[in-house]
Structure 1
């Protein structure tokens, strides 16, 4: 008999960690990715406005946890609406918000699969979503994870929605040079919030509580890149504030924020041959010994390593992609100083600034799969139709709390 109940940290931690260890991500017989949640199974959801973790328990006398699922709810942009009462063109377009739920961390012990446990966990989580007013639910999974795709699209009523790309770059033993033609400015959280709300609030999946994200202890800062030749790149004290900056922007500029995933979870690549480990170690030794050569090296990903996540990537102008590249170089050096193994981000498949984001194809995922389901008929801020049928835009806002 299977009983689904809320996770209890005082008695479930050891059993949940055991299930996590048995559920490595990756095809059998190949490299697999193990996620160590650092003793906190709620770490990937606890920073969201509302969250829940459920466990599936089997047995009568001796009970055993055989599965779990996590979920969170927030309010995000799902489209735009026109406000014809404003004369200014910039004021006519407003974000349309919806209450969105996210399913993540679904795990079922390998010895108890194909028994309907995953389906039961999803259904119970969706019921909690509805009780808390969520209008949509979505999940992210690997495009080639047939079991996950079949569960959500075949049995749970989800439909394929977006196919963003996960871009991953190793953190080298040497520091990356940032172009001398670019000035990188760090914004305080209040100014960063203003910039995002003024310019990116109509981007799909933009979180309404962006201020909570930017003020979170895991947020390492928001950075703007501008040409050094512009009035904003002349030195300290030249930043006029986001509102004034957007009113008189330079010809090209870019922005991104950095999130510290290292203090939430660690990753580890398992199943690598001895030869691959030796080659990787050799590249690190050469890079560390001769850093002036700026040779790319493979970090030690075969033991637990941390990562920094870049989010809120945007910009304007003909040189915006080059500005993004400089920001990624700056973020790389932050990750190196923080002892991280990789630097990652997730962007829309058609993101125009993607060409400015350094990444290794072998570490990246060209098509992550997001599936979505409509939970209710009511819509906040006016009915405009079904979001699940809307065409994709060129950009999405990936919330670092859910990566």
Structure 2
């Protein structure tokens, strides 16, 4: 514990030197050693509980409702929307323009009702911000596969064969619009599949790429439906480029309802902790923590 405590303090010192006012860390609810170190020894407090939601990329397209139109907008337009609507939220990056301009940030998608003025064509960010639709949602797509790849290991040959069979069926009969996927990270068995709605499982047993949706936001009474449309559009664009689409959302965020649950480990949800130190305390290097 002494080495871990020293490491945390050295990292915090670097944060303060760079002008940070708060330090955050994420762990899982079941990681008692990590929670004990940060909450008992380092005075961190619980800030938020979130989960990583992962959805497989099927061989078939997910239909976007005709009542919703999804636009892909320029990074400069996305920057202005993010700054005008979300600059006051926590964790908003001041250099959002740099994030959006990164080659790994593939697109920003905006969903609006098909009957509104912004549906037929994108009116431009100034017009959109000045006269927003009653409901809308947006999200940006980050290509994690450009940095690292993932792989599921330990699956039996039977499960691998079953997953391969669902992919073959999905490609051969895409009109089935297969809607769901079993949780590959827990034991599962056979179950009834009426109308041949076989779960289509992408090949997760060899290195694969993932797309991550970040900057999810929106407003209006049907914002969750708009979010679902953005997610479906991102899924469709990921076909052939990634095996899964994922995001991380807090438990109480309303837009979470629009994000499909493909795989979610509720027992291992992320617990976000926060520690803040006043500027004058940092200048005096504060009082050393008890070792």
Interval of TM-score (by shorter of Structure 1 and Structure 2): 0.7 to 0.9
CA distance in 1, matches of 2:157, 2:8: 39
Q: TM-score, normalised by structure 2?
A: 0.82
CA distance in 1, matches of 2:250, 2:123: 31
Conserved? CA contact 2:51–2:264, under 8 Å: no
In 2 relative to 1, CA 150–273 (structure 1 residues): closer, same or farther, beyond 3 Å? farther
Residue 107 (structure 2) pairs with residue 221 (structure 1) = yes
CA distance in 1, matches of 2:172, 2:149: 27
CA distance in 2, matches of 1:126, 1:362: 31
Report SS of the residue matched to 1:269.
Answer: coil
CA distance in 2, matches of 1:366, 1:200: 28
Once the two structures are superposed, the pairs formed by residues 199-218 of structure 1 within 5 Å of their partners are 199-218=85-104
Residue 207 (structure 2) pairs with residue 321 (structure 1) = no
The superposition leaves residues 2-48 of structure 1 with CA deviations (integer Å, 9 ceiling, x where unpaired) of xxxxxxxxxxxxxxxxxxxxxxxxxxxxxxxxxxxxxxxxxxxxxxx
In 2 relative to 1, CA 279–151 (structure 1 residues): closer, same or farther, beyond 3 Å? farther
Offset, 1:123:
2.5
Residue 64 (structure 2) pairs with residue 163 (structure 1) = no
Q: TM-score, normalised by structure 1?
A: 0.61
In 2 relative to 1, CA 117–215 (structure 1 residues): closer, same or farther, beyond 3 Å? same
Report SS of the residue matched to 2:146.
Answer: coil
Q: What is residue 176 of structure 1 aligned with on the other side? A: 62
CA distance in 2, matches of 1:364, 1:190: 36
What CA RMSD, in Å, does the superposition of the two structures yield over aligned residues?
A: 2.1
Report SS of the residue matched to 1:231.
Answer: coil
In 2 relative to 1, CA 346–365 (structure 1 residues): closer, same or farther, beyond 3 Å? farther
Offset, 1:161:
1.3
CA distance in 1, matches of 2:264, 2:12: 35
Once the two structures are superposed, the pairs formed by residues 11-50 of structure 1 within 5 Å of their partners are none
Structure 1, unmatched stretches of 5+, are 1-113, 380-403
CA distance in 2, matches of 1:365, 1:347: 15
Q: What is residue 10 of structure 2 aligned with on the other side? A: 124
Match of 1:270 among 125, 133, 153: 153
CA distance in 1, matches of 2:280, 2:164: 56
Structure 2, unmatched stretches of 5+, are 179-198, 282-291
CA distance in 1, matches of 2:123, 2:268: 38
Q: What is residue 385 of structure 1 aligned with on the other side? A: none
In 2 relative to 1, CA 321–280 (structure 1 residues): closer, same or farther, beyond 3 Å? same
Report SS of the residue matched to 1:205.
Answer: coil
Q: What is residue 335 of structure 1 aligned with on the other side? A: 238
Report SS of the residue matched to 1:373.
Answer: strand
CA distance in 1, matches of 2:158, 2:136: 43
Offset, 1:146:
2.3
Conserved? CA contact 2:139–2:214, under 8 Å: yes
The superposition leaves residues 179-215 of structure 1 with CA deviations (integer Å, 9 ceiling, x where unpaired) of 2222111111111111111111112211111111111
Q: What is residue 294 of structure 1 aligned with on the other side? A: 177
Conserved? CA contact 1:152–1:158, under 8 Å: yes
| Structure of higher RCO (CA pairs closer than 8 Å, 6+ residues apart) | 2
